[in-house]
Amino acid sequence: MAEPEENVVIRAGDSAVTLLPVMGGKIASIRVRHRGEIHELLQSPLHPYAPRNTSMPFDASDASGWDECLPSVGACELDIPAGKAHVPDHGDLWRLPWHIMQASEDAATLRVDCFSLPLQLTRSILLTETESGCRLQLLYSLHNLGATAVPWSWAAHPLFAVQAGDRILLPHSVHTLRLEGSGGDRLGVANTSIPWPIFRASDGSSVDLSVAADPDSGFGDKLFAGPISGAVDGWASLERPSIGLRLTVRFEPELTPYLGLWLCYGGWPDGSGPKQVCVALEPTTAPVDSLATCGPWTRTLEAGQTVTWPMELEVERMDS
């Protein structure tokens, strides 16, 4: 087995993906060559990579790339048979070194154990070249290492770089979104139902949420779509005309029936310093950030049980 300190780069055609096992298994970079240039598809680090601890907030890190949020996105406290479980901000996994189980030219498998709950995640990645670009296929496997059942939720956290005018596409079946939070309450208060894609404010103005805003607008909104039903609706796309690429996230609604949307145009982190300019398309098991918020989406994994689910990212040349 390779040492966890080694970075992993997988390649296919004109595409390359860089994984940082010691930095929470982060997918740090997805690079695609198009029109004679190399384009980085992920949010660049806001701060230099540095060691993490089990309690620091996510905005104290580099807050970039693609992490995995498990067993919760929001920090929360849970009552479990073993006592109180304290899940930190954005979960356990981005804080921990992952172990490289396998790595080759175009594929890698990494594994990590949570610390707040007795859960082990294995993530396998395969990068392939396609006629119009590339495809990144991911397979997740979650195992309960403990002696009792525990709750869990998962959300992918790919922060895609954007420019003003880039467009978000959702299935035609999605007409409303649930608002988890909005900077300055510009879209309203939490748990509000927001129409998609045109939002009309109380002052009569309207905003097309499907179009990326200017990076100095200071917007930061978290929303959820779903539950999504039917395999044909298990997708979301980000079109980037300025670089001629379309990014499409695909997932299986039967296994992960919700989609989180993080629309950040200079609106986070709070305070001074660099800001995110990104759109995150986040397949997830729940339409809420906190594992402590229960509902029909709540999941429990029995002792010794394993559950698996897939997702993929397809990158296509829009002018091909």
Domains identified in the chain, total number:
1
What span, in angstroms and rounded, lies between the C-alpha atoms of 7 and 58?
22
Domain CATH number, residue 98: 2.70.98.10
Give residue 6's pLDDT band: very low, low, confident or very high (50, 70, 90): confident
Residue 165 lies in a domain: yes
- What element of type H or E holds 306? strand 306-317
CB 155 within 8 Å of CB 73: yes
Residue 114 lies in a domain: yes
Find, among 182, 276, 170, 284, the residue nearest to 233 by Cα. Answer: 170
Q: What does the pLDDT average to over 161-190? A: 96
Residue 71 lies in a domain: yes
What span, in angstroms and rounded, lies between the C-alpha atoms of 189 and 32?
38
Q: What does the pLDDT average to over 178-187? A: 94
Tokens 């950030």, residue?
A: 289
Residue 3 lies in a domain: no
Q: What does the pLDDT average to over 157-171? A: 98
pLDDT at 3 over 50: no
Give residue 230's pLDDT band: very low, low, confident or very high (50, 70, 90): confident
Q: Which domain holds residue 104?
A: 8-317
Q: What is the percentage of the chain residues whose pLDDT exceeds 90?
A: 92
Give residue 320's pLDDT band: very low, low, confident or very high (50, 70, 90): low
Q: What does the pLDDT average to over 83-87? A: 94
Question: What pLDDT is attached to residue 204?
Answer: 80
Tokens of 85: 């479980």
Residue 1 lies in a domain: no
Residue 59 lies in a domain: yes
Q: How many CA atoms lie within 13 A of 72 on its CB side?
A: 24
Residue 16 lies in a domain: yes
Give residue 5's pLDDT band: very low, low, confident or very high (50, 70, 90): low
Question: What pLDDT is attached to residue 319?
Answer: 81
What span, in angstroms and rounded, lies between the C-alpha atoms of 241 and 40?
14
Find, among 144, 153, 181, 150, the residue nearest to 72 by Cα. Answer: 153
pLDDT averaged over the chain?
A: 95
Residue 2 lies in a domain: no
